[in-house]
Amino acid sequence: MCQRSMKLLRMFLFVGLVIVKWVEGFEDANVTDLDMQYVSGRGFYRPLMVGFTLINGAAAKGAVCLDGSLPGYHFHRGYGSGSNSWLIQLEGGGWCGTIKNCLYSKKTRHGSSFFMEKQIPFIGILSNKAEENPDFFNWNRIKIRYCDGASFSGDSQNAGAGLYFRGQRIWQAAMEDLMSKGMRYAKQALLSGCSAGGLATIIHCDEFRELFTRTTRVKCLSDAGLFLDSVDVSGRRSLRNLFGSVVTLQGVQRSLPRSCTSRLNPILCYFPQHLIAGVRTPLFLLNAAYDTWQIQASLAPPSADYHWNWYECRKNYARCSAPQIQYLQGFRNQMLRSTRAFSRSYKNGLFINSCFAHCQSERQDTWFAHDSPRIGNRGIAESVGNWYFGRVSVQAIGCPYPCDKTCHNLDIHWGSLLAVLTYYYYTS
């Protein structure tokens, strides 16, 4: 009994270290499972399930996942008026910036195609139903799976550990494969992505534009990809440390735009706030002003919250104290400042709502439903569609928390986090 008690004690003492690992990019909650639960619970039609396709020619190009397995995507063909229109969505899933963390990732769906779902639901911006996705429902819609741990941007390897950092090559192999399957004839194209995929969308936006002729309408949508170089509650920069390790380990600097790396350290050029001004292709930024991932992992991670002063606030944002809300308002203000010059360009679009959320284009309830989040009288799907087709200029910024009553704020499921913590304790 004493031995068991000591082990439990060691586990909880180990929690601080374990949470640091969680902060370093392990977003292992299965988003597709959560989406399925939401769809069935809210009475939406059963979503389209789309099968998985491996990129068979990728290995010859060195375009492989962390474990050396083939990358792949899910592809549903467009039809009718959308048969020559293409929507590419880059999956998110955090980052790995150390050998140990990447070795863990390569045994998950974020590092190996062996662990990826054979079918996933296409909902939100990928839905094939006009009543759920009015502007893109009949386009060719592709979700490229994420298995490199560096936002599709690394180009290196560690032979001793058996790790392949080939995100840039995966991106190129996927584009070449899709071009051979008809994307070269696109009349319209939209590159999108969420979270780490949203960062990848910004990094690769101009490359995507170069794939097509000048007559093709090409634009990019970054959802929850506006990661900020912020000071955390301990006075350090947790996310800069993570991004620095990713850039260094995975050789990311070679994939970053020279327009940024010629004047700034490559680590800073991994932050979208330093990239967006140099993106020439029309770009839309969809972000929650109180991005839950950034709050949990960058602003107030447990590793920086030495006295657990943010514990109640992290569990339920309604329990945040006045100083904590003021701190979060400062984060919102930083986000607005970082997009000020970007939003002055008519070609760009912006939708920053004052919600506690992360990734709003992938969920049906936030993308397009009767009670979806709105700014003014327009929701997210309508705003993105208006911007893409040039119907209306979109520069939408919501009022500060707590005035937005349309938000679908995310709850943090601590039981799932505890399971991850326990796993790390017994496997580290």
User: Looking at the annotation, which residues are catalytic?
Assistant: 195, 291, 358
Quick one: tokens of 277? Answer: 């001004």
- 359 contacts 294 by C-beta, under 8 angstroms: no
Q: Render 75-120 in DSSP notation, one character per residue.
A: EE---GGGTTEEEEEE-------SHHHHHHHTTSTTT-GGGS-SEE
DSSP letter, residue 273: G
Quick one: tokens of 343? Answer: 């939003």
Q: How far apart are CA 335 and CA 355, in angstroms?
A: 13
- 408: number of Cβ within 10 Å: 18
Q: How far apart are CA 147 and CA 363, in angstroms?
A: 21
Report the SS3 class of residue 269.
helix
Provide the phi-psi class of 162: left if phi over 0, else alpha when psi is between -120 and 50, else beta.
left
Q: How far apart are CA 221 and CA 200, in angstroms?
A: 11
Q: How far apart are CA 361 and CA 334, in angstroms?
A: 23
- 158 contacts 57 by C-beta, under 8 angstroms: no
3-state class percentages of the chain: helix first, strand second, coil last, to nearest 5: 40, 15, 45
Q: How far apart are CA 319 and CA 72, in angstroms?
A: 42
Q: How far apart are CA 27 and CA 373, in angstroms?
A: 24
Residue whose C-alpha is closest to residue 345's, from 161, 213, 167, 219: 219
Print burial letters for 258-297: b (CB count within 10 Å at least 16), e (below 16).
ebbbeeeebbbbbbbbbbbeebebbbbbbbbbbbbbbbbb
Please, which residues have CB within 8 angstroms of residue 264's CB and are 6 or more apart in sequence? 274
Q: How far apart are CA 104 and CA 31, in angstroms?
A: 19
